[in-house]
Amino acid sequence: MLKIIGVDEAGRGPLVGSVVAAAVIFPANFYIEGLTDSKKLTERKREDFYSKITQQCFWSVAEASSVEIDEVNILQATMLAMTRAINNLQHQLISQNQDETFKVLVDGNRCPDVANCRAIVKGDLIEPVISAASVIAKVTRDRQMKGLDARFPEYGFKSHKGYGTKEHLAALSKYGPIVGQHRYTFAPIKFF
């Protein structure tokens, strides 16, 4: 039986943390009114959709760490995270039922190294299964940033999610980058 896997990522642009990818398969007749690109949703709506998707759908999340991003670059790390999420989801389903085949729909203009994949520019706006993956990836990464904020509150990760805001840059100037968390190949981190 053919299963459609929607894939998206969160966290390509920030200066800190992992890039997170999610893969989602909808069960038959699954629908959420208003599901779209996670960036167009409020945090409250994302959390609500996250709960519905994770309770009713097949899904997987994976990441590539800041260290991996620095080793291979953000594009390759994104592809790595997507491949991991897709493979994890496929393995979950294959272990339950041996006759599955998969078609992968990825938001963006390129596919990771997986079979039967199609990249769709702005796919998170037009393919609900990609929108669902967008929500899972964004909520997962935002939660990671809240966790990092609890460990390093002086950086303000809870509010800016690791992006290069004035607040974040001021904290970097004062405290320096966090080893194992900040992406040292990203400007302005590489200048510290």
How far apart CA 112 and CA 106 sit, in angstroms, is 8
- Say which residues have a Cβ less than 8 Å from residue 97's Cβ, sequence separation at least 6: 1
Is 78 in contact with 19 (CB distance < 8 Å)?
yes
Query: What's the CATH code, domain 2-191?
Result: 3.30.420.10
pLDDT tens for 14-49 read 999 999 999 999 999 999 999 999 999 999 999 999
Tell me the domain boundaries of the chain. Answer: 2-191
Quick: pLDDT tens for 47-70: 999 999 999 999 999 999 999 999
Whether 25 and 5 have beta carbons less than 8 Å apart is answered as yes
Residues 127-164 have pLDDT tens digits of 999 999 999 999 999 999 999 999 999 999 999 999 99
| Separation CA 105–CA 94 (nearest Å) | 19
d(CA 109, CA 161): 25
Residue 179 has pLDDT above 80, yes or no: yes
What is the reported pTM? Answer: 0.95
User: What does the pLDDT look like over 77-133, one tens digit per residue?
Assistant: 999 999 999 999 999 888 776 567 899 999 999 999 999 999 999 999 999 999 999
Question: What is the predicted pLDDT for the residue at 103?
Answer: 97
